Every structure is written in C-alpha cells, then in structure tokens.
Amino acid sequence: MVRHSKTYFVLALLLSLTGCSAVASAELQTTPEAETMRQHILTWIDSFESLECSYTYRWNMESGGWQEKEEKFRYQGEWLWFESMLISQGGFESAEPIGHTMTVGRIDGKVRLLGVSGGDITGDINRQDTFRPSHVLDPRHLMGNTPATLGLKSILSQPGIPFLIERNGERLFMYWVNPNGKMPWGVNIYLDATDKIISVDYVIRPDCLPKEVQQFTSKPLDELYILQQRLEFADYHYINGIWFPCYARERTTLPSNENIKKQRSQIFAQQEQGEINACETDAKLLELDYSNTLSNAFSEIHIDPATVRINEELSKDDFWVDIPLGTGVVDRETNQVVHIEQETWRERHANLILFMAMLLLFSIATVVGWRYWSPNDAAR
C-alpha cells in the first residue's frame, strides 16, 4: 500500500492557525501564521500520492449549450488513466454522438488513446507526453497538480508573501508572488470555520512588491487584482485520513468592456513614453473598474465518494489502454496507420520479469555465499 506520513494532514488540523492580520485601507501585513498556512496547504496537496474516482462531469456554455459525461479517473505518480463517456448534451451541434467513449492512458511517458463511437474504433499509440485533461476539473486540479495548467501548488511554491485576513466573518488566505517578469499570478483562498478550502480565486496582481505598489494607489491592496477564474469546493469526505472535496465547480470572468480596453491602451502609452514606470503601470491597470463578473458558463463535477480511493497502491495494468486486436491506429512516432497485433504477456511485463530475474540472481548469490562462508568461519 502506498502510505505516506503526510497523509494524516487534513484541513481540519488547521484549526490552530487562527492568527490573522489586520488590513488597513492600503496596507497588508504578513504574519508567521500566514506562512504556516501556506505550508499546510502545500502539505495537504502533496499528501495525495495516488487517486482513483468516478464522477459526473457537466459543462454549460454562456449560450445555454451543455454536455454531460460519466467519467473515471486514476493517477499514481506519472501514470495516468482516464475514461469518459458522453451521456447527454443539448443546445449545440457536436461531433461526438451520445455513447461516445474515450479512454486515455499514460505509462512511462507514452500515451495510448482509444475512441469508440458505436461500432467505430479509433486510436493512437506512442503519443508524445502531452497528456491534457479533457477539462480544467480533472480531479488532479483539485490538488493543484494539473501539469497543463497553472495550479494552486505551482503558485504557492513560488517565492512570495502570504497574508491571512479576517474580515466580515470571512477568512481569506492571500498569496502575492514575488516579481519575476512573468504573468503576475496570485491566489485568494477562502476558508470555512475549520479551514477547509471553500474556493480559490486565481487573480492577476502587480508584478512588484506590495510596499512598492502602495505608493502608486489609494485602493486597498487586498482589492488590487483582476479576477480570472474561480474554483469552488464542497461536499468534503474524510477518506483514508484526508479531507477530500467531492464537488467542484469552475467559472471564469466575462471579457472586459471596450471602455476598459481603451483605458488600458492609454496607460500602456504613458509607460512607453516614460511617464510612468512598470509598477505604476500595473497599479493604474488594476485600478480600472473591472466588474470581475463571473460568467454564466461553468464546469462542475460530482464525485461519487464511494468510488474514491486515495493512496492505495496501483499497478501498471491499471493504466494500460487495451486496443482490440486488428484495430487500425495511428502510431504518432511515425505518423503511419498500423494494426494492433497480439502483445505477449512477456512484452507487457518486461520490467517485472527483469526485476524478478535480478531478485532471483541476488537470492542465489546470497545462498551460495552463506554456504561458502559458514564452513570457513567454523574452520577458523
């Protein structure tokens, strides 16, 4: 069984982290408790070494179109397996018929894909290691580990300044990433009374330190951001020593209006003319009257808690995608169509066979050495 000492960490244990900083009109003050909270959240994320679950996934478009799928998912380390079946849809034309199933697996950096619609079977083998979850709510994203997406873990792992705020009965953990010349992402994490995560706001903040930007704005620094995306979590279950959210929803914000775009252009023009520096540019950009209105479009998953398996050891076979014999698939290494042939047990378990052979040789060497040295030791 895959067990780890960190699996005892649960969000409920963060009850002791009650130290909060006051927020003045344009100031932020960090505290040791804020850094402790960051470390505890990262520990919670890292406590998931493997995950297996089944869930219903649904997304709704702003126009009213929607699609719903039944999905199964598992991962362990770099091994991934994902199966998705379309069960209903409406409001738009889709190339996928009801009942379409797609199965994807990645083992040792090689990806196999199988698609089935009615009697039609398609597939890829030897795909490059470009596994992309079919949607942002791949369960790994709940942990902030989605490789294709800037997630919670990747942001909290960067150098930055943590803040804990309590205001109007809300507990808020903010993380301000240090300037790095890249997209200045940050997060606002809202916590419940037991410090479980209620929601995560992915935000854009100034690409300079709080004490620098403070001189260029009268807006409270905890409000100086642009909201990009919100992830909401609920229905927590205590599974194998870890609190796990079995419901999640993702929403993005609506595009900026034309007036905002014009004002942004004027601010950038000021910077190009040398009238303002980069930090003041960021301050002026983020002072604009963004509505931060969330779109009516959303993606959500309802995970069946009875199917959740956390940190239970999985084997390579759990991630293998079986493609029916004779199926014509595209070999992505050669971009040629090939037909799947019988794969022997020896070929599929080559690594296991090699390991067992080495173990056998080691055992034989141990026995021979013991039989040889024992008489000689007695003779001495």
For range 152-174, the mean pLDDT: 88
Identify the pLDDT of residue 1: 40
pLDDT for the residue 5: 36
Name which of 112, 88, 92 is nearest 100 in CA terms: 88
Average pLDDT over residues 119-146: 68
Averaged pLDDT for residues 259-263: 86
Cβ neighbours, 10 Å, residue 276: 17
Rounded to the nearest integer, the mean pLDDT of the chain is 81
pLDDT digits (tens, 9 = 90+) for 308-339: 999 999 999 999 999 988 888 999 888 899 88
Q: Which two tokens stand for residue 356?
A: 């067992």
| pLDDT above 80: residue 374 | no
> Hunting for tokens 């992402």 — which residue is that?
185
Is 0.85 topped by the overall pTM? Answer: no
**Confidence at residue 182, expressed as pLDDT on a 0 to 100 scale:** 73
Helical segments of the chain, H only = 32-46, 139-142, 152-156, 210-213, 258-272, 278-287, 345-348, 350-379
pLDDT at residue number 362:
67
The pLDDT assigned to 353 comes to 60
Give residue 217's pLDDT band: very low, low, confident or very high (50, 70, 90). very high
pLDDT at 28: 77
Q: Tell me: pLDDT of 168 over 90.
A: no
So what's the pLDDT on residue 127?
A: 84
**Section 365-369 average pLDDT:** 60
* CA 104/CA 123 separation, integer angstroms: 9
pLDDT for 26 equals: 41
Instruction: Grade residue 356 by pLDDT with cuts at 50, 70 and 90.
Output: low
pLDDT at site 256:
74
Report the pLDDT value the prediction gives residue 6, as an integer from 0 to 100: 35
Q: What is the pLDDT of residue 372?
A: 57
pLDDT tens digits along 19-67 = 333 333 346 788 999 999 999 999 988 888 899 999 999 999 988 899 9
Determine how many CB atoms are found less than 10 A away from the CB of residue 161.
18
What pLDDT score does 166 carry? Answer: 85
The answer to whether the beta carbons of residues 12 and 243 sit under 8 Å apart is yes
- Angle at the Cα of 120 from the Cα atoms of 119 and 123, rounded to 5 degrees: 135
Q: Residue 286: which residues within 8 A CB-CB, separation 6 or more?
A: 204, 205, 206, 217, 219, 224, 225, 226
